[in-house]
Amino acid sequence: MIRSTVARVDLGAVAANVRALRDYLAREPRNGAPVPSLIAVVKANAYGHGAERVALAIEAAGADTLACADIEEAVALRRAGVRAPILVFGALSISDLDGIFEYGLTPTITTPWAARAVQEAAARRGVVIEYHLKIDTGMHRLGFRDENLRWTLPPVLASSHLRLQAIYTHFASADDAENPLFAEQRERFDAASEVVRELTGLMPMRHAANSAATLRDSRVWYDAVRPGLLLYGIVPPPLASTIPLQPAMSLTSRVVAVKGLRPGEAVGYGCRFVAQEPATVAVVPAGYADGLDTRLSGRGHVLIRGRRAPIVGAVSMDMLTVDVTGMEVSPGDDVVIIGRQGDESWQQLDAREMAAAIGTIPWEIVCRLGSRIERQYS
């Protein structure tokens, strides 16, 4: 039994995106600096695409390292057969540290507290664990503050069961060309790198760039870049890119019913759409329980028979309704919610457009796609 609303994930597109990114990183001249390696971010169920299949495809396509949000996500990747290094970004304090050792994960140390916890756990097992150190250069969430490193870092470096493998930072505003914080964070990270070099005697491996920063400034590529969104074929708004990326996911359904409305009749909860003229609505079996935002009502579109049909009336838990007045629509017709239905530019709906229509970001659109929706891989 397959529900009519399905997400198709094109693993070939994901692999092609990995290769396109690698080509882009190799092409850009950087005064002789080596080509950065690729840390592929597959947190949050690979941005809703399905972590296990996507991670294996990305690994096979040649990503050097995979990264996820917490130990639990990383353990799921190992169980799925991922053998590449896996960097765990954060949330160590609420996770079971055993996973780091049992599954060979690379933790990020983001606080002195986390350093002590990992050091103690490694000492108990009699092993030395390699870690990445996160430096806070202006995001002000996790990480050692850059200006405090001279006294916060020495005790961590002195821990006999911890070995520093890399340092990194994370940009708060890489997608905003107007915001000076991006350049400030780069300068702070460069200065912090020098402090680490002084304290350790060598320049550690460094990484900083999320998707937006990867597109914007090759100076922040350092030794590795850390894109997420780009891997899935979505360019962070408002940026544009010439990298040939393909959207990896489409979301499709089928019309389950077609209903004629007389003038003055309304459809759905709250009577939010009232027909002024005789109207026809098509009912599509996908709703907010599938991750489709209620704000799409009156703002979003779907494609039916190659045409854009506006979403009207309230998006409900399991259904949404679209205005197909004047169109020949029948139950069973294909509906595209994200994806394309024809070759014209207006016959494509993507996560970026959907996000813009409702005032959110494309990351949220794909990550929220419900677990009830089956992911079909090709």
Ligand X SMILES: *Cc1c(COP(=O)(O)O)cnc(C)c1O
Question: Strand 162-168 vs strand 129-136: parallel, antiparallel, or unpaired?
Answer: parallel
C-beta of residue 284 within 8 angstroms of C-beta of residue 269: no
Interface with ligand X, residue 36, by CB under 6 A? no
C-beta of residue 306 within 8 angstroms of C-beta of residue 335: no
| Residue 365 CB, nearest approach to ligand X (Å) | 13
Contacting residue, 226, 254, 301, 375, with ligand X by CB under 6 A: 226
Residues with Cβ within 8 Å of 69's Cβ and at least 6 positions away in sequence, in order, are 43, 44, 88, 89, 90, 91
| Residue 256 CB, nearest approach to ligand X (Å) | 34
Q: Which of 356, 307, 268, 291 is nearest to 5 (CA)?
A: 291
Stretch that binds ligand X, among 15-23, 25-33, 227-235, 247-255 (CB under 6 A): 227-235
Which residues are known catalytic residues? 43, 269
| Residue 25 CB, nearest approach to ligand X (Å) | 14
Contacting residue, 82, 229, 315, 355, with ligand X by CB under 6 A: 229
C-beta of residue 66 within 8 angstroms of C-beta of residue 55: yes
Interface with ligand X, residue 89, by CB under 6 A? yes
Counting beta carbons within 10 angstroms of the beta carbon of residue 371, is it exposed (0 to 12), middle (13 to 18) or buried (19 or more)? Answer: exposed
Q: What x-and-dash track marks residues 204-223 binding ligand X by CB under 6 A? A: ------xxx-----------
The three-state secondary structure class of 132 is strand
Ranges of H-type helices in 4-68: 11-27, 43-47, 51-60
Q: What x-and-dash track marks residues 230-249 binding ligand X by CB under 6 A? A: ------x-------------
Q: What x-and-dash track marks residues 5-34 binding ligand X by CB under 6 A? A: ------------------------------
Q: Which residue is nearest to ligand X (CB)?
A: 228
Nearer to ligand X among residue 51 and residue 212 (C-beta)? 212
| Residue 361 CB, nearest approach to ligand X (Å) | 9
Nearer to ligand X among residue 108 and residue 252 (C-beta)? 108
Nearer to ligand X among residue 173 and residue 297 (C-beta)? 173
Give 272's Cβ-side CA count (13 Å radius): 19
What is the footprint of ligand X within residues 142-201 (CB under 6 A)? 170
Cα separation values, 258 from 197, 283, 325, 345, Å: 67, 6, 10, 27
Size of the site for ligand X (CB under 6 A): 12
Give 226's Cβ-side CA count (13 Å radius): 22
Contacting residue, 18, 41, 51, 373, with ligand X by CB under 6 A: 41
Helix axes 71-79, 51-60, angle to 10 degrees: 70
Interface with ligand X, residue 352, by CB under 6 A? no
Compute the Cα dihedral for 310, 314, 320, 326 and give only its sign: negative
| Residue 336 CB, nearest approach to ligand X (Å) | 24
Contacting residue, 138, 228, 268, 313, with ligand X by CB under 6 A: 228
Dihedral angle, C-alpha 52, 57, 61, 65, nearest 10 °: 0
Residues that bind ligand X (CB under 6 A): 41, 43, 89, 170, 210-212, 226-229, 236
